[in-house]
Amino acid sequence: MYVVAIISQKGGVGKTTLATALAVEADRRGRSAAIFDLDPQASATFWKDTRGSDRPAVAAVPPARLSHVLKAAAEGGCQYALIDAPPVAKDLAYEAAQVADLVLIPTRPAVLDVMGMTRTLELVRLYGRPSAVVLNMCPQQGREIRDTEEAIRQLGADLAPVRMYSRIAYSRAQQTGLAAQEVEPDGKAALEISLLYKYTLKRLNAQGGQHGAR
């Protein structure tokens, strides 16, 4: 089982949107997927409550039981697990980073978000976990994206080669218990999610080991 943790010390950067969309994409491609919701706000769990489907599985998990729950999920046949970590709560982010095969760090192309991303990057490096910054909620035009990408490169961080733009399909999906690729199967958001999912698998396969399954 591969474990992908989505972590940011800055709120409002779209962690739950990415987690739910990636889990749905995994399920659509024939992989057993699950989301483990560490956020006290339980956004992923509320999304599940409105979904009307048992797939992908979503569970609110006390941080102290995360390792145990992941082990049980792996033994139960789960292949692609996503951890939706809360903002600000550094101790919970530590828990998620420790068990992850790959950490995705979403950030919007804005100064305050980049500052939050920097703190998260420091946390991830503390545990030596592979990571990638994901530019999320990007504007359709402007120099903010280029400036943010340059800042990420200067920090020596890996940048996911997929830009996630601000699209109505993402917000509609969260309101209805769907993922963007279900709202608009042939839309640009669906393509973005597909590319990001393929990127995570490429990174995970290249790394070989499955930290979260051990």
What's the pLDDT tens digit per position in 149-208?
A: 999 998 999 999 999 999 999 999 999 999 999 999 999 999 999 999 999 999 999 987
Give the pLDDT mean for 68-78: 96
| pLDDT, tens only, 87-138 | 866 677 778 888 999 999 999 998 778 877 888 888 888 888 899 999 999 9
The three state secondary structure string of the chain is CEEEEECCCCCCCCHHHHHHHHHHHHHHCCCCEEEEECCCCCHHHHHHHHHCCCCCEEEECCHHHHHHHHHHHHHCCCCEEEEECCCCCHHHHHHHHHHCCEEEEEECCCHHHHHHHHHHHHHHHHCCCCEEEEECCECCCCCHHHHHHHHHHHCCCCECCCCCECCHHHHHHHHHCCCHHHHCCCCHHHHHHHHHHHHHHHHHHHHCCCHHHC
Query: Which pLDDT value is given to residue 213?
Result: 40
Per-residue model confidence (pLDDT) at position 212: 43
Tokens 């399954």 locate to 213
Compute the average pLDDT of residues 37-52. Answer: 93
Question: Hey, which CATH number is domain 2-206, 3.40.50.300, 2.30.30.240, 2.30.30.100, 3.30.950.10?
Answer: 3.40.50.300
| Alpha carbons 188 and 193: distance in angstroms, whole number | 9
In this predicted structure, the answer to whether residue 214 has a pLDDT above a threshold of 60 is no
Report pLDDT for 116.
77
Domain ranges of the chain: 2-206
